[in-house]
Amino acid sequence: MALAHPQLTLFDCEDCRQWIIDLKTGRRLERGGEAQPRRPGTPTPCRTCPRESPERAKAIALGRREFATIDFYLQVRATSGACMNDRERTDALLLRNLAIVDGVFRRHERGQSAVDFGMVLAQIRTAGAGAQPGTRGRR
């Protein structure tokens, strides 16, 4: 979701409940230099938001472990793997997770973002994976 709709990383559903948000930019709508609050009873734009609902937003939200895995993937990709130590190069779980993330990035780059990132997160979480922040994939 963050690849296809990076503006969504700028706000969460609670922000949208409180403020009028431009879904194309992810910024609060301003008038006269002031952010516009959402009036009580005014519906949120869930029907047009890629997240679809607060419940789905929670289900697909990236946690610290997922961000750490993605960050490590980007380091590995940028260095063609030179940043990996011997243990990381042989860690089957880490390599599996890097392959999953790589698949998502490559599909996105080809414009084939049909994969629901929630399913990818479920695969990583089921395996008990995701690098711990600061550990670069070491358990």
Q: What is the pLDDT of residues 93-111, one digit of tens each?
A: 999 989 988 888 887 777 7
| Contact indicator for 132, 65 with CB cutoff of 8 Å | yes
Phi, psi dihedrals of residue 34, rounded to the nearest 5°: -120, 135
pLDDT 10s digits, 16-37:
888 988 888 888 888 998 988 9
Q: What is the DSSP string of 90-120?
A: H-HHHHHHHHHHHHHHHHHHTT-TTS-HHHH
Strands (E), the chain: 21-22, 27-28, 30-31, 34-35
Residues 59-64: contacts with CB within 8 Å, 24+ apart? 59/118, 60/1, 60/116, 60/117, 60/118, 60/121, 62/2, 62/121, 63/130, 64/133
Mean pLDDT to the nearest integer, 118-131: 57
Question: Sorting pLDDT into bands at 50, 70 and 90, what band is 11?
Answer: confident
Burial class (CB in 10 A: 0-12, 13-18, 19+), 98: buried
Mean pLDDT to the nearest integer, 105-120: 64
pLDDT 10s digits, 46-80:
888 888 888 887 777 777 887 888 889 889 999 99
Residue 80 is predicted with a pLDDT of 92
Residue 82 is predicted with a pLDDT of 92
